[in-house]
Amino acid sequence: MMNLGDLRVEIFADGADLAGIRAMYAKPWIRGFTTNPTLMRKAGVADYRRFAAEVLQVVPDRPVSFEVFADEFAEMERQAREIASWGPNVDVKIPVTNTRRESAGPLIQRLSRAGVQVNVTAVFTLEQVKAITAALAEDTRAIVSVFAGRIADTGVDPVPVMREALKILQARPRAKLLWASPRELLNIVQASEIGCHIVTVTSDILTKLSLLGKDHDDYSLETVEMFHRDAATAGYTIPSVRPPSG
């Protein structure tokens, strides 16, 4: 079985809880951090710039992704350049399209050629990966976040998609493929096995990492013990019922 030390994929923590980010930064095997407006809203973040400044104080030396939130490309570009100025370890998340399905390819190209480290997000198709790859500058670091977990939610195996995405991105050696929205610990193993560069993981899955390599016989026994313990704690009984006489 695979253990944590066997993983060949970089694990990025995904979230917007500052205390959680601080706790994950203390773990050297967490190689970077990602967040997005939805996670920030759920965490109660009210001031975007202040939150980002606090995160970068906690994480001064590992990649951190912050996302633009405009829908018009001109404003998206202004936000991206501002966010990029916050630190050399900042990656700017750019959605692959806006809400009108208009491709962000030209914007990605301008930013990448200007040296902005983009993290192209909400990617689902290989056609999108091809368009992004063509837009990226060869000498600028970049991330392409394919939402493998959400692809799986539609009943499609994401592994062949991710394998092909890796082949496409070979044309841009400074670009890394990120396995986004994993649903279970197995997805981290799958990402590692196919050679995916990064997997971004939420806290609920990170807490399961200690299960990697766990003996299945031991896990079976622990499960039986749990059922027995919970039944006893609940005080469950099944009284014998005698058949009616006569």
Instruction: Residue 38: name the closest of 148, 202, 188, 222 by CA.
Output: 202
Instruction: Residue 208: name the closest of 242, 184, 173, 231 by CA.
Output: 184
What are the residue numbers of the active site?
93
Angle of helix 105-113 relative to helix 73-84, nearest 10 degrees?
A: 30
DSSP letters spanning 155-193 = T--HHHHHHHHHHHHTT-TTEEEEE-S--SHHHHHHHHH
- Mark 127-151 as b/e (b = at least 16 C-beta within 10 Å): ebbebbbebbbeebbbbbbbbbbeb
For residues 192 and 155, give the distance between their C-alpha atoms in angstroms, rounded to a whole number. Answer: 21
